Amino acid sequence: MMSDINSSTFKLNKSNDGIHSLLGKKVAEHYLDLSEKNTTYKLGRLSENYFSFTFSVEVQKDGEKRGVYVKIPKTDMRRSNRTILPIEIEDTEMALAEQASLKYLEKNWHSDDLSLNWVNLRGFINEYNAIITDRVVADEAYSVFRQWDLKRRVGLGIYSRRLQHVMGRFGKALGRFHLKHVKPAKLNLKNEVPKFEFYFREIAQKTASTSSSLIFSRIRSLFKLNLNGLIVQTMKGIDVRNILIDHKDRLTLLDPGKFKNTFAEADLARFIMTYRILYWGSGWLLFVRQPDNKAEAAFLNEYYSVCSPASKNLLGLYLIKEQLKHWHTALDSLAKLSWHTKIKEWVARIYVNPFYERLLTLELKNLRQAVSCE
């Protein structure tokens, strides 16, 4: 049963620690029956990233444990102090969109047979923009997939097959969901040009790479392509980092984000790109370029076994767009760090730019070959 806590139950506390304590107790009382006798509660650590604050709440009675998860969405904290308050209009819009998406998915996403489901929404607390969901006892797929990929590199083939199986299950589930609302359409690349041009300008300003100019000119030559596609309901939150996996390889998906009716390849490219950067941000990236492409192929094969593509080339175009977006975001995040300018320039030149230049060059090559075969 989902419910909201009335605003009169709170006295605003402006410190993160104060909110953590007060909000955690209220969540325990309202969602986990803390008022019962012989019941204790425990708050998980308040964690933060650029786009949210999170923590768990657990109650225990007679040895039985129950818990929920609290998430407070924030639009972007890369440029500001990381504080829960104030709650901006944009923060509220993010939270409302996530709730609406989870409610919709509860009725329209069906993959119990694939051991894969979205997290259950329990409620919302207006004062702190806090989304309450079931707590899931599982690990982040992002780190588990990386471990499996490293193990398969030393000859443990079972982990390669395990990764392919999990990725394939997700591909099939996503294909089922997309197939519910499908509308054939033709991609009008004129509508996409401004976004591409934005990325070109931003990246050009932040890097002196000569190869990037060549890559951009090659991408511009693709704007004349005339491609058919399928309009479906896509989700901003399709991301490896929004997946939990337990010891039985059951998957729980978090944060679908906002729905948008656009080409199916937007979701496919978004997910594939987050898989390809499993090693991003770690020292492993200097030695391992990207994870096993067989798992990526398993994801696409199972997806297309359910929802066939209208054009084989549309995915390549969306992958290029997604790679440009990631490149821009990586340079933008690097610029916001408090590091010395010379160090940031060195990281961009040695780490960031070569990685995305290689990905884009390879994707352009694959797309051009596919187009020439049509």
Summarised one tens digit per residue, pLDDT across range 9-61 is 444 457 999 999 999 999 999 999 887 666 788 999 999 988 899 999 999 87
Q: Which tokens hold the place of 141?
A: 């797929």
Longest dimension (CA), the chain: 72
pLDDT digits (tens, 9 = 90+) for 160-175: 999 999 999 999 999 9
Average pLDDT rounded to a whole number, residues 79-98:
90
Pick the most confident of 31-45, 81-95, 154-168, 206-220: 154-168
Strands 130-134 and 64-73: antiparallel
CA distance 374 to 356: 27
Do strands 121-125 and 3-4 pair parallel, antiparallel, or not at all (unpaired)?
A: parallel
- Position 212 scores a pLDDT of 74
How far, in Å, CA of 187 to CA of 23, rounded? 47
> Tell me, what's the pLDDT at 38?
62
CA dihedral sign, ordered 176, 182, 188, 194: negative
Is pLDDT of 7 > 50? Answer: no
Q: Is 209 helix (H, G, I), strand (E, B) or coil?
A: coil
pLDDT of residue 76: 82
Q: Render pLDDT for 221-273 as a digit per residue (tens, 0 to 9).
A: 888 778 899 999 999 999 999 999 999 999 999 999 999 999 999 999 999 99
Percentages (nearest 5) of helix, strand, coil residues in the chain: 55, 20, 25
Exposed/middle/buried for residue 319 (C-beta within 10 Å: 0-12, 13-18, 19+)? buried
Please tell me which of 60-69, 98-107, 348-357 the model is most confident about, judged by mean pLDDT: 98-107
